[in-house]
Structure 1
Amino acid sequence: MRSARLSRAIDTGLFTLPSEGRIAVLRPRIGDELGDLPRDRLLVATGFRPDHDWFAARGYACAPHATGEFAAAILCLPRAKAHARAMLAEASLLVAKGGPVVVDGQKTDGIDAVLKDLVPRVALSERLSKAHGKLAVFAAGADLSDWAARPAQVDGFTTLPGVFSADGIDRGSALLAGALPADLKGRVADFGAGWGYLARKVLSLSAVKECHLVEAEADALDCARLNIVDDRAQFHWADATTWKAPRGMDHIVMNPPFHTGRGADPALGAGFIAAAARSLNPQGALWMVANRHLPYDRSLTTLFREVAEIGGDGAYRLTRAAFPIRAR
């Protein structure tokens, strides 16, 4: 979808790539094809670890953030409006004045609203519509600084636009934090740690020896480093589904994500459960919150000897799963 719009925009002359200089591609997603762009000049800048690793495995230069000056930038629109605006402000500063900033996104991700917001701020090109999305171009140099990402404070935690639950503590996570036993001890991992809410609760317990915060979104992990000042905390920018624990964990806490796009994807949560089973020691326990409608029972009962519901409410279920079953 994105590649079709990029190809058409280049072929029709909607924008011309500069003949030299680096090109930043901001936040592309797994499966996005960038074949019409000069690979040796590209930097794929994405803080989402699965996307980063997918492009790196295909030979692209990758980094969680773009730094320095670029001749052009291609912005792959995220769903969150505040995040999209922050990326536009970033791109306008990254690119040399007058260089092209390409804005591309799906209609379901709000591209129409973003382009409408840009109209009074920049000289926006003709819009190219294709494959259920739109693409437009403007010249770098416009002052979009009022859209720049700014940290927010949520009940004593620092958050940033684009991270999960940036505007407030997630209710499911709050339920899980309240259900964790006071005698939790040993080595603990927080899968999908976000900006550190659950990990701070874990580290408030004196018998915890170490807490590994495993988070795929670099911006969220940067917030967690600010929110948690504790020598027992270890921070891992990693996809929890593939992370390898340095040794068996005694406990894992998690509020696993279940969206890869607009629709629910229960396979993602199931991947978190499988990773937890691999990462726990033989007597270890998983403490999890999830929406009640998500079909995780089969994964839990297949991978753990003991599975029990320990609380929740009408929307969320709290589960303790212990004694992971090892494959023979």
Structure 2
Amino acid sequence: MNAYRQWLVASVQVGGCSLSVATKPGVLAHGTTDVAAFMLAEAVARRGVAGAPCRSVHLHSGNGLVAAVAGQAGYAVQAYDRYLPNVEATRRTLEASGGAAPRVAHGVLATADMPSGGADLVTIRIPTDRLGVQMAIAEAYRCLAVGGVCLLAGGNDEGVKPAARWLERVFGGVRLDAQHSGHRLLSAVRRAGEPADPAALASPWMNPDHMRATSVSLGAGEFTQYSRPGVFSWEHLDEATAMLAETARIAPGESVLDLGAGGGALGVVAARATQTGRVLLLDADADAVRCAARTVIGAGVHHVEVRASDAGEAVGDARFDVVVTNPPFHVGKATDLAVPRAFIEDSHAHLVPGGRLYLVANRTLPYERWISDCFGTVRTVHDGRRFKVLGATR
């Protein structure tokens, strides 16, 4: 079995709860201890549930540890994560650990299926982007009933101190419950009446359909790329993607697979180059999938499909003439080179004989050996000051 897709299960004890936590490469904190998640889990275990059934919402659920503890404590669990590997890890962890039947969703916000005031507890394992933290706190306030509690944890190097200030701005009070190994656990209670600062909840990003529109001139013409906070390079077209778009050679009629499509710019360029060939865009990020779909529709290219996928998993048995990719190599703040290696292996698996891979990467990343292992040879298509485009033929 491909090592990237080999699931591992670890037995974990938290606050008297016995859990089986699922993980694999690409899942947050794989191979390490997520201190923030353990702090949240221990706090949830201490709270328990008394009396009537209670509902908990878990934002940025990661491997599902916190949600599983909540399930064992008696909460009806709803868990959300924007990254597909984390969603699958949460689902597996909850199934293995028992508790009330959970809902696990691939998304940033709970807006679609959690009514305002419907939750008694919300936990946030903070993301590393500022706007992502602010959205999560606003979503927690929206979800919580009066008297409900928000628990938030993260590292000092992940922005937990600014998160504390935003939590106070929204809830009107925040308590430091614990700190350990450069991490902090915070709590806040939703009180009756208006939020402490209503303007803090007025962000347009709380509307899932609100997207940033960026005019892009790339390849054969101009189009608009749509994006949201947390999507890779969401505020502008990144230099590496532009370089890949200018150097990849796609002939009319060729089929193209874009692994890690982001906001969809490369997919539009590929669709215009192939004219009639099938183009499939894949990304693990729920918001990236929605943004890429809007980008390709707005660009008027109609032979393009966008799917959520962990690496190339959603391709199925299909084969393509060309694969283009700018593979991610961060999971949270950590570097995880198992992810780009999986992209390279999946590229080889889904190319027709004679099919071509075009991959762009930071010049310092050691992808040549992995490409050579899969394809036999590797060539440098373009060598820039910061980025390189590597090519290979199956």
TM-score, with structure 1 as normaliser: 0.90
Which amino acid in the other structure matches residue 110 of structure 1?
A: G
Q: Which amino acid aligns with 1:95?
A: L
CA contact (8 A) 1:26 1:45 kept: yes
Which residue does 2:221 correspond to in 1? none
Q: Is the CA contact (8 Å cut-off) linking 1:192 and 1:254 kept in structure 2?
A: yes
How much does 1:3 deviate?
A: 4.4
* AA aligned opposite 2:254: G
Measure, in 2, the Cα distance between the counterparts of 1:322 and 1:228. Answer: 27
- Show the counterpart of 1:326: none
> Superposition pairs for residues 61-140 of structure 1, below 5 Å?
61-65=103-107, 66=110, 67-69=113-115, 70-127=119-176, 128-140=178-190
Matched residue, 1:275: 346
**Residue 214 of structure 1 contacts residue 235 of structure 1 at CA under 8 Å; is this kept in 2?**
yes
Equivalent pair of 1:291/1:317 in contact (CA under 8 Å): yes
Match of 2:335, SS state, is coil
Question: In the alignment, what sits opposite 1:178?
Answer: 246
Structure 1 residue runs of 5 or longer lacking an equivalent are: 324-328
- Aligned pair in 2 of structure 1 residues 281, 53: CA closer, same or farther (>3 Å)? same
Residue of structure 2 in register with 1:252 after alignment: 323
Give the Cα separation in 2 of the matches to 1:297 and 1:206: 27
Structure 1 residues 208, 270: closer, same or farther in 2, change over 3 A? farther
SS at match of 1:235: strand
Question: What corresponds to 1:195 in structure 2?
Answer: 263
Q: Distance in 2 between matches of 1:268 and 1:314?
A: 24
Partner of 1:25: 58
TM-score by length of 2: 0.76
Pairwise CA distance, 1:166: 0.8
- The answer on 1:55 being equivalent to 2:90 is yes
* Root mean square deviation, CA, Å: 2.3
TM-superposed CA distance for 1:12, in Å, is: 6.4
The alpha-carbon deviation at position 292 of structure 1 amounts to 0.8
Structure 2: give runs of 5+ residues left out of the alignment: 1-34, 96-101, 216-223
Residues 241 and 274, structure 1, Cα contact 8 Å, conserved in 2: no
C-alpha deviation, 1:2, in angstroms = 3.2
Q: 1:5 aligns with which of 36, 39, 61?
A: 39
What residue number does 1:240 align with?
311
| Percent of paired sites with the same residue | 22
Alpha-carbon distance between aligned partners in 2 of 1:234 and 1:2, rounded to the nearest angstrom: 37
Describe the shift of the 1:313–1:166 C-alpha distance in structure 2 as closer, same or farther (beyond 3 A): same
What's the offset of the Cα at 1:103? Answer: 1.5
Matched positions, count: 322
1:11 positional shift = 6.5
Amino acid of the structure 2 residue aligned with 1:132: G
1:96 partner SS: strand
d(CA) in 2 for partners of 1:207, 1:36: 51
